[in-house]
Chain A
Amino acid sequence: MTLEVAITFELNGRPSTAAVPVDRSALAMLREQFGLTGAKLACGEGECGACTILVDGRSVNACLMAAVDCDGRTIETIEGLRDADGLHPMQQAFVDHGAIQCGYCMPGMIMQAKYLADRQPDLSREALRRGLEGNICRCTGYQKVFDAVAAAAGLPKENQP
């Protein structure tokens, strides 16, 4: 049996506990122990961003985040974004702007987009493109993702740089 450690942390605004094998990733913990399958395992090496979650307010690849180190931290996943009234404005913008096709990369993309918009309210188009460099999408070509984030973040409508 693999060594396990008990951890407590805040998950999508709620206090949570788990017993995690010490070599487990946060991604595996979220998916297998909490049923939060929004974040995806798509590469397992931090190259694609499909597993992006927020830890203590910063975006990280959950596949590279040690579950044991979630102890005492604040974790936010895509499932925690919406509230009783409906979708988070960033989620709604992705829907409204046609930024979602197969959607597999979108939980990670939306979490990263939210992180960028919250961190930098005057996000430039160029900074937005850089900020999404760790999120791979094979379907959309990114155009409508930029449009959605720009709309949700209230950026002026302008041509691509």
Chain B
Amino acid sequence: MTSVTAVEGGPEEYAAATSVEQAVQFLAGGDGTILAGGTDLMVEAGRAVTNCKRLLNIRRIDDLRGVTEEDGQISVGALTSVSDMLADPVLVAEAPILADTADRFASDQIRNMATIGGNVCNASPAGDLILPLLILDAELELVAWREGGLATRRVALGDFFTGPGQTVREPDELLTAVTFAAPGDGFRALFMKSGPRPALEIATVAAALGLRLDNGAVSHVRLAFGSVAPTPIRARQTEAYLQGKELNDSVIEEAGAMAAEEVTPIDDVRASAWYRRHLAGVYTRRLLGNDT
């Protein structure tokens, strides 16, 4: 027989942390759910926020906001909002692809709330912002409260995702920053996303390219796709093919065909696997041909 109880619901514990230390100490108690931008947690359907046990509001940790550069290393605080990324002078100067991608993200209202940390930890296969970070060889800084002190580890973004919505982040870890080396001159970086909407769209396919040429030949290449696999991925075979090649029409054509083969999309309510492969090929050719 089902026992009848008065309706309870909602988290049993709540805290608004103002420092990383406070936050990870709370998480060390287990069963913690992080409230950052809220754009995933607060969605009405599924009521994730009601169903969590211990709610940690990290939005008051000002240290986690903002972009800094030191010795060519750029650090984007995990709580930096997508709107802030759009306008940040360091990013605009050093990694404009992040600003461009941020501009293609959701809507103004969501951009004002959503954070880069939330986007990364949400680990959607379609995660738009993850793609430029992949091509920038970004790393993640994760902090936990272990043995009475702060414990930090770094994980390459490419190693972070294990499946749709799944990452290697331990339940007691807080993502504090996303870091990458400023690419400097000669780095061509482009982002493309399916439309026709410019932004408010869970992409059928999104793609990002990072490229360096040395006398017309590819000296460095990163090609990332979203929505064509269980996680955002780099097309490593296509990258390997391109390495060292001169970027002419037939190479571009071949790379497009390769990328279309390399991705592993599924049929779902938004699109068929056929179309996703097709777009992967189209986008690869356009990104390489600098023709967006």
A joins B in a complex: yes
A residues with a Cβ closer than 8 A to B are 1-3, 5, 21-23, 25, 41, 43-47, 49, 52, 58-61, 63-66, 68-69, 71, 112, 115-116, 130-131, 133-135
Q: Contact string, B23-64, partner A, CB cutoff 8 A, digits 1/0?
A: 000000000000101110011110101100001010100000
Bound-state CA distance A69–B14 (Å) is 11
Q: Is B169 an interface residue (CB 8 A)?
A: no
Per the bound structure, the CA–CA distance linking A15 and B114 in Å amounts to 27
Known A1-B8, A2-B8, A58-B83: A23·B44 in contact at CB below 8 Å: no
- Tell me whether B42 and A66 are in contact (CB under 8 A): yes
Contact A134 B200 (CB under 8 A): yes
Q: How far apart are the CA atoms of A116 and B108 in the complex, in Å? A: 9
Would you give the shortest CB distance from A74 to chain B, in whole angstroms? 14
Main SS of the interface on chain B? loop
Query: In the complex, how many residues of chain B place their beta carbon closer than 8 angstroms to a beta carbon of chain A?
Result: 34
Contact B43–A3 (Cβ < 8 Å): no
Assembled-state Cα–Cα distance A69/B106 (Å): 22
Chain A interface, DSSP helix/strand/loop, else mixed? loop
How far, in whole Å, are A112 and B108 apart by their CA atoms in the complex? 9
Q: B108 contacts which of A2, A25, A133 (Cβ < 8 Å)?
A: A133
The answer to whether A61 touches B109 (Cβ under 8 A) is: yes
What's the nearest-Cβ distance from chain A to residue B15, in Å? 10
Is the C-beta of B148 less than 8 angstroms from some C-beta in chain A? no
Between-chain CB contacts (< 8 Å), 12 pairs: A3-B11, A21-B10, A22-B14, A22-B55, A23-B9, A23-B50, A46-B109, A59-B112, A61-B39, A63-B44, A130-B199, A135-B107
Q: How far is the CA of A137 from the CA of B95 in the complex (A)?
A: 35
Q: In the complex the two chains form, what is the Cα distance from A64 to B109 in whole Å?
A: 10
Contact of B197 with A by CB under 8 A: yes
Cα distance, A61 to B37, chains bound together (Å)? 11
Complex Cα distance A21/B7, Å? Answer: 14
- Contact partner of B44 (CB less than 8 A), chosen from A5, A44, A52, A68, is A44
User: Does A2 lie within 8 Å of B9, measured CB to CB?
Assistant: yes
Given A22-B55, A23-B50, A112-B108, A64 and B11 contact (CB-CB distance below 8 Å): no
Q: Decide: B59 and A134 in contact? CB cutoff 8 A.
A: no
Given the known interface contacts A63-B42, A65-B42, the answer about A134 and B11 at a Cβ–Cβ threshold of 8 Å is no
- What is the 8 Å Cβ interface bit string for chain B, positions 1-21, against chain A (1 contact, 0 not)? 000000011111110100000
Partner of B106, one of A1, A116, A134: A134
Contact A47 B45 (CB under 8 A): no
Q: Are A64 and B106 in contact (CB under 8 A)?
A: no
Who on chain A is nearest to B46 by CB? A45
- A23 in contact with B108 given A46-B43, A69-B38 (CB within 8 Å): no
Task: Tell me if B10 and A65 are in contact (CB < 8 A).
Answer: no
Most buried by A among B44, B83, B107: B107
Residues on A with beta carbons closer than 8 Å to the beta carbon of B113: 60-61, 64-65
Most buried by B among A49, A61, A64, A135: A64
